Amino acid sequence: DTAVSQTPKYLVTQMGNDKSIKCEQNLGHDTMYWYKQDSKKFLKIMFSYNNKELIINETVPNRFSPKSPDKAHLNLHINSLELGDSAVYFCASSQSVSTDTQYFGPGTRLTVL
Amino acid sequence: AQSVTQLGSHVSVSEGALVLLRCNYSSSVPPYLFWYVQYPNQGLQLLLKYTSAATLVKGINGFEAEFKKSETSFHLTKPSAHMSDAAEYFCAVSDSAGRRALTFGSGTRLQVQP
């Protein structure tokens, strides 16, 4: 069983479209994260939720909106996609906000044309 | 604020040779330090972590790292490289008392030559 799963694995879309990426963890963790990996492999935190509450919101355009329907899921919705949004997006989870180890999903490669 | 610097974006070693990947950190509070490995087209896998216990940390696949506070370093080593070690390696830091988001270095691509 995959501990942290993301769908879709690949997403190709046109500029201006709206798209969502889904993340689910079956580890029973309380805290979930979204990271963005750019074309130079640089990884940066975007958001973090703890028990469905937003606790980290980095300087991300408000076109990006995370939603956590329950603590096992953290979805990422992106409005009005731009070329610069092309990246690999990784979801991660940790047991709690004070736990150090984060477990990563396989990533979603978003390509905006 | 925290930051991580990985010296050398590419490292190439021969199979059987020592692997040394360098990581220096900056943190205003005691740090937690991590090494993650990313194989092509895959997610990140935790290799090892330092969380203020023993300064020499052993991880999976024969890797280890030593936390040196005086040098603000957390270099990753493996005595003998295998072909299967070829991957991208990321050093990361989180603060021990805060929000725990990981701050990553820019990564080091390890190539292993036969």
Does residue A8 have a cis bond before it (omega within 30 degrees)? yes
Nearest CA to CA, how far is A17 from chain B (Å)? 25
pLDDT confidence tier of residue B31, bands split at 50, 70 and 90: confident
Report which of B26, B4, B103 is spatially closest to residue A45, judged by C-alpha positions.
B103
- Chain B residues near any Cβ of chain A (below 8 Å): 32, 34, 36, 42-46, 49, 51, 88, 90, 92, 94, 99-104, 106-107
Q: B46 pLDDT exceeds 80? A: yes
Contact A66, A47 (CB under 8 A): yes
The arithmetic mean of pLDDT across residues A85-109, rounded, is: 89
The arithmetic mean of pLDDT across residues A63-76, rounded, is: 93
Which one-letter DSSP state was computed for residue B62? G
Cα separation, A38 vs A42, whole angstroms: 5
The arithmetic mean of pLDDT across residues A19-43, rounded, is: 93
Contact A72, A10 (CB under 8 A): no
Report which of A29, A47, A30 is spatially closest to residue A90, judged by C-alpha positions.
A47
Would you state the pLDDT for residue B4? 93
Q: A101 pLDDT exceeds 90? A: no
Q: How confident is the model over B79-109, as pLDDT tens digits? A: 999 999 999 999 999 865 666 688 899 999 9
> Which residues lie below 8 Å from residue A4, measured CB to CB, with a gap of 6+?
A23, A24, A25, A27, A91, A92, A93, A103, A104, A105, A106, B43
Would you state the pLDDT for residue B97? 61
The arithmetic mean of pLDDT across residues A90-104, rounded, is: 86
CB contact under 8 A, B107 and A100: no
Contact A30, A70 (CB under 8 A): no
pLDDT confidence tier of residue B27, bands split at 50, 70 and 90: confident
The arithmetic mean of pLDDT across residues B17-35, rounded, is: 91
Q: A112: which strand partners?
A: A13
Would you state the pLDDT for residue A97? 75
Q: Which structure tokens are listed for A33?
A: 């994260």
Task: Give contacts of A98 with chain B, Cβ < 8 Å.
Answer: 100
For residue B71, which phi and psi values (nearest 5 degrees)?
Answer: -105, 0
Q: B32 pLDDT exceeds 70? A: yes
pLDDT > 90 fraction of chain B, expressed in percent and rounded: 72
Give the count of beta carbons closer than 10 Å to the beta carbon of residue B109: 16
DSSP B9-23: SEEEEETTS-EEE--
Q: Which structure tokens are listed for B112?
A: 């292993």
pLDDT confidence tier of residue A17, bands split at 50, 70 and 90: very high
Q: Which of B78 and A2 is assigned the larger pLDDT?
A: B78
CB contact under 8 A, A48 and B101: yes
CB contact under 8 A, B101 and A100: no
Which one-letter DSSP state was computed for residue B53? S
Average pLDDT, chain A: 91
